[in-house]
Every structure is written in C-alpha cells, then in structure tokens.
Amino acid sequence: SNEILYCIGCGAKIQSENPNELGYTPESAVKKGLETEELYCQRCFRLRHYNEIADVSLTDDDFLRLLNQIGESDSLIVNVVDIFDFNGSVIPGLHRFVGKNDVLLVGNKSDLLPKSLKRSRIKDWLRQEANKQGLRPIDVALTSASKGYEIDNLLELIDKYRKGRDVYVVGVTNVGKSTLINRIIKQQTGISELITTSRFPGTTLDKIEIPFDDGKNLIDTPGIIHKQQMAHYLTGKSLKFASPQKEIKPKVYQLNEGQTIFLGSLARFDYISGGRTSVIAYFDNNLPLHRTKLQNADKFYEKHAGELLQPPTREELKKMPKLTRFEFKVSEKSDLVFSGLGWISLSPNTIVAGWAPEGVGVLIRKAMI
C-alpha cells in the first residue's frame, strides 16, 4: 500500500529505497515489522540489537569515555550479567568506573539453572564472584528476561535504590540486556512509553532513554563485546548451543583416569588423573557429548570433527579457531568453565584439561552448585 509508515524508535519515515538515508528498512523487514507491530528502521533495529557497535573492543576509547561519564554522573548503575557465563559477562574494571554510584547486579538467564537450586544460594554465589572482581553490589537480583521471571522484583529494587536518580543499564553483549530492557518497557511500572535516543558526548555511541515519571531516565547503554564468549567464534546452527533456551539438565559421568569427553567438536574435556571420579556436565541439553579414550582423542578428533562430532558441521568448523588446551590441578570442588558454552563440575584432587577454540575462556572457578 501507499500508507506512510514511521519507525517506532526514532520516528523517521520508513523507506526501502536508500540504505544511506534516514528511515531505511529493507522491504522484508517492513513486512515483518508490520506483522509483529514493532516496526523499526534498520538503524534503530541495529541499535536495539547493538550490531551497530559490534566492533567495539574492550579498550575502545568510546566505551571507556562512556564508562567515565557514567562514573561522573549521580546515578544507579544496573549491571546485567549472564549467570550461565559470569566470567564472559564481566566488564573489566567496572568497579573503578562506578565512582560513588551504587551498583545493582542483575544475574539474567535464571531459567537455565536447575529449579531445585535455591535462588538465595545463586545470589550469594553471584555476590562472591562479583567481589572477586572488586565489585561490591548494593543488591543482587535474578531474572529471566526471556521467560519474564522476577521483572517486577527488579523494578522494585531499581525504584528502591535509585532514590530519584537516573539509572544506567550496562552489560556486555549476549547477556540478554536488550531482551530485559524490552521486558521492562512492556511492564511499564512507573515508566512512560516515550523512547528517545541520543549520543554520549564525545563518543559515537548511542544511548536509549526511557523516562521515569519523575523526569529522570532509565538509560540503556551499548553493550560491549567480551571476546572470551564462545558465541563470538561460532557461526550458523552451532550458535544456538552457546545460547541455551531451556533449563539445563545436568549429565553425570563416571570416569576413569585417561578418559576424554568431546562436546560436539566445539570443546573437549580430558580427565587426566585422580582415580575413579564422577563429573557433572552442564551444557545445552541438545549438545551431544561423546566419551572416548584420552590416548586416542587427538586422532579421534581429526577423523570425526564436524561429522560424528557435531556441532559444528564440517563447513562451520572451517571458520572456527583451532582448539587450545589448558591444564588444571583441582584442589577444591570446582567447575571447569568453557565461557558461554557451559561447565563441568569436578571433585577435588584431580588433574584435568579443557580445550576450546583459541580465544574462548577456559577457567576453573569455585563450584557454583
């Protein structure tokens, strides 16, 4: 039709002719936007999903400038992390930037953890992990942005701690920050609907401002990429294994020394020594695990990666960096974490190795569960 359409983000007139001009939206996206009643121009769409700043790295001047500005403001800082990938969620040095401001820590994706696990325990664990990073949150909240759990509670906490101040929401990409913001907007408790965007002074970064009823704003900041996350090294169908959508069903393995478990061909776990032991694997329920002898594991991988050992497919494997090995001596009940993919919980007095694509964080932490 000839109906004139407007972007619900910036208000620009939607057009599909000139990609370099305001309001550009590919025709397919216009159709989809009308169906879902969420029609954004490409720029706003990208902004909302942060692809616009996809290349920003952790030392990027703009991002540091943004953090400095937040530190100098009088505000409540809401730091969203992914509880499934805490280490891949940390903003390095955030505690140095917050200044005198309070930080409310939000552990998102709570739907992934076993329901039997006490929420108070997860919160305690999150607080401890934050403390290790130098961050002293005023409170901790657990949410599931995709399932809509505990959003009301989060809004209450924000209201309690902001004390008439602006609220900055910060987080690295993939923690579910945009899903959460969209939930908050839908909930609308004490938040007006009008969304505006503006630029952080002295940067190329845009912020999204959602006004509270008292004239202050909830300000969504661009996410920054944390290169340790598995998601950055995957393409195609394999990506979904780095973003589970369902409660993780732990898998228990009885292992002898000298056994290996392949996680598709995305990663690998070697049980080196420590006697017979049981380990518990926490990964996307559909990620196929394959047990074999450590002795033959290299040859096995060479032969079966991308075929018997999937994901990824052989084609996708070409774009994935080679697996690199990290060895650990485990002295207390610990998790061997493959950043963004999941973890294996281990008994003390064992020696293990974890392999992941070069660049992906592999580390040992105090057991979460």
**Which residues between 233 and 272 bind ligand GDP (CB under 6 A)?**
243-245
Q: Does 108 bind ligand GDP (CB under 6 A)?
A: yes
Beta carbons within 8 Å of 205's beta carbon, 6+ residues apart = 53, 56, 62, 63, 66, 199, 221, 222
- Range in contact with ligand GDP (rule: CB under 6 A) among 95-103, 105-113, 121-129, 152-160: 105-113
Torsion, Cα 229 230 232 234, to 10 degrees, reads -170
Q: Does 145 bind ligand GDP (CB under 6 A)?
A: yes
Report, in Å, the least distance between residue 18 CB and ligand GDP.
Answer: 28
Helix (H, G, I), strand (E, B) or coil at 150: coil
Which DSSP helix (H) or strand (E) runs through 184? helix 177-187
Q: Does 179 bind ligand GDP (CB under 6 A)?
A: yes
Question: CB atoms < 10 A from the CB of 198, how many?
Answer: 10
Of 23 and 171, the one with the shorter C-beta distance to ligand GDP is: 171
Of 146 and 347, the one with the shorter C-beta distance to ligand GDP is: 146
Report, in Å, the least distance between residue 185 CB and ligand GDP.
Answer: 13
Distance CA 357, CA 164 (A): 46
**Beta bridge partners of residue 94, listed in sequence order:** none
Residue number of the CB atom closest to ligand GDP? 176
Encoded tokens for 313: 């497919």
Of 171 and 354, the one with the shorter C-beta distance to ligand GDP is: 171
Contact (CB, 8 A) for 172 and 223: yes
Q: Does 112 bind ligand GDP (CB under 6 A)?
A: yes
Report, in Å, the least distance between residue 322 CB and ligand GDP.
Answer: 26
- Range in contact with ligand GDP (rule: CB under 6 A) among 27-35, 61-69, 174-182, 344-352: 174-182
Q: Does 174 bind ligand GDP (CB under 6 A)?
A: yes
Q: Does 175 bind ligand GDP (CB under 6 A)?
A: yes
Report, in Å, the least distance between residue 178 CB and ligand GDP.
Answer: 3
Question: CB atoms < 10 A from the CB of 292, how many?
Answer: 17
- Range in contact with ligand GDP (rule: CB under 6 A) among 106-114, 195-203, 286-294, 298-306: 106-114
Distance CA 233, CA 241 (A): 12
Report, in Å, the least distance between residue 161 CB and ligand GDP.
Answer: 21
**Beta bridge partners of residue 338, listed in sequence order:** 342, 362
CA angle 42, 47, 52 (to 5 degrees): 90
Phi, psi of 267 (to 5 degrees): -160, 170
What is the separation, in whole angstroms, between the first and last Cα of the chain?
Answer: 56
Of 178 and 334, the one with the shorter C-beta distance to ligand GDP is: 178
Residues that bind ligand GDP (CB under 6 A): 49-50, 108-109, 111-112, 144-146, 171, 173-179, 223, 243-245
